[in-house]
Structure 1
Amino acid sequence: MTYKIMVVDDDPITRMDLREMLKDEGYQVVKECKNGEEAVQQCLALKPDLIIMDVKMPILNGIKAAKVIRKKLDTAILLLTAYSQRELIEDAKESGVTAYLVKPVTELDLIPAIEIAMSQKQQFECLSRDLQFLKKKLEERQLIEKAKGKIMESRVMTEEQSYQWMRKYSMKNRIALVTVAKFILQQPGAIGDVFLVRE
């Protein structure tokens, strides 16, 4: 898969080296930036899959830029640094970066780090989608439960009877059960007239 990558470093030689390594491996370099502020502006427009960014830069350093970017975009960020102090590692973790590499960076270091970063990003996106799906299903279930309660009150039915009544209506009219539930909750009078007419 071809990932869109942004390279951010105040050193033009480093940017050139990274660009060449990435292009040799078939990655698409969508933009090169010379500082964190420029990276923040450009990433909002280009929405890269991955940002490879130096830590020490003028105007806005890599860690601060990463914090801003991660609040706005779900983009993987790979930090480059000449240092490996524990404090830096903690700051990098808090800023939401996916990984970091210590300079000088070689192709043997860079390519596996990119693949791991992108794999983690995809796993996170998959989990996020699953979470959204489960949240939606839970909200639907809550609506159905509330609608069942309304039917139980209005039609003097047991919980099971009210559910089967809704289900039968849903299947007969070829509409989703949650749509039936929303209609019941939005128009309580429908339980006694519109619904009865269509049974």
Structure 2
Amino acid sequence: MGQSTPLRRHPVLVIEDEPVLRLDAIDMVEKAGFEAVEALDVADAIRILETRTDIRIVYMDLDMPRGVRGIEIAATIRNRWPPIEIILTAASFAKADLDLPVRSEFYPKPVQHADVIAAMRRMAGHVDG
């Protein structure tokens, strides 16, 4: 038998402060064939992005605690790491009310896993292309 090269799993950074929702998102990412990279909060996510140059997709909850404005964090990620594709989700926002960063997509909670997985796969195609 010949050797085969394992398929490269694209890392997806999951930024979700709610533990149950974070576990659900990680499960969704991994079942879709991606590598889930877990961030507990925004500071953790920034540390990860500063060290993991292979991350090109971020899945992020806009509903952040303690007055943190998730859409501003998404804009910061877009400005500081331009190649990253961003998937945003929230229960308390509507897409029409948001000024989304370029190359980002929004999915209201509760998210439909099939829609988010399709977005990740499209975005991974941009990463490979």
Task: Say yes or no: TM over 0.5.
Answer: yes
In the alignment, which of 41, 63, 71 is matched to residue 71 of structure 2?
Answer: 63
Provide closer, same or farther for how the CA distance between residues 58 and 37 of structure 1 changes in structure 2, counting only shifts above 3 A.
farther
Structure of greater relative contact order (alpha carbons < 8 Å, 6+ residues apart):
2
State yes or no: 1:79 paired with 2:60.
Answer: no
Give me the CA root mean square deviation. Answer: 2.0
Provide closer, same or farther for how the CA distance between residues 64 and 80 of structure 1 changes in structure 2, counting only shifts above 3 A.
same
Q: Which runs of 5+ in 1 are unaligned?
A: 124-199
CA distance in 1, matches of 2:49, 2:26: 17
* 1:81 aligned partner, one-letter code: A
Cα deviation for residue 97 of structure 1 reads 4.5
Provide closer, same or farther for how the CA distance between residues 96 and 78 of structure 1 changes in structure 2, counting only shifts above 3 A.
same
Moved over 4 A (4+): 120-123
- Please state whether the residue corresponding to 2:46 is helix, strand or coil: helix
- Please state whether the residue corresponding to 1:96 is helix, strand or coil: coil
State the Cα deviation string for residues 63-95 of structure 1 (Å, max 9, x = none).
Answer: 11111112221211110112325221xx21xx3
Q: Is the 8 A contact 2:95 2:106 kept in 1?
A: no
Rg: which structure is higher?
Answer: 1
Cα deviation for residue 115 of structure 1 reads 1.6
Give the aligned partner of residue 115 of structure 2: 109
State the Cα deviation string for residues 133-186 of structure 1 (Å, max 9, x = none).
Answer: xxxxxxxxxxxxxxxxxxxxxxxxxxxxxxxxxxxxxxxxxxxxxxxxxxxxxx
Normalising by structure 2, we get a TM-score of 0.78
CA distance in 2, matches of 1:115, 1:81: 20
Q: Is the 8 A contact 1:66 1:96 kept in 2?
A: no
Q: Is the 8 A contact 1:5 1:27 kept in 2?
A: yes
More strand by share: 2
Query: Percent same amino acid among aligned pairs?
Result: 25
- What is the number of equivalent residue pairs in this alignment? 118
Q: Which runs of 5+ in 2 are unaligned?
A: 1-7
Normalising by structure 1, we get a TM-score of 0.53
Give the aligned partner of residue 10 of structure 1: 17
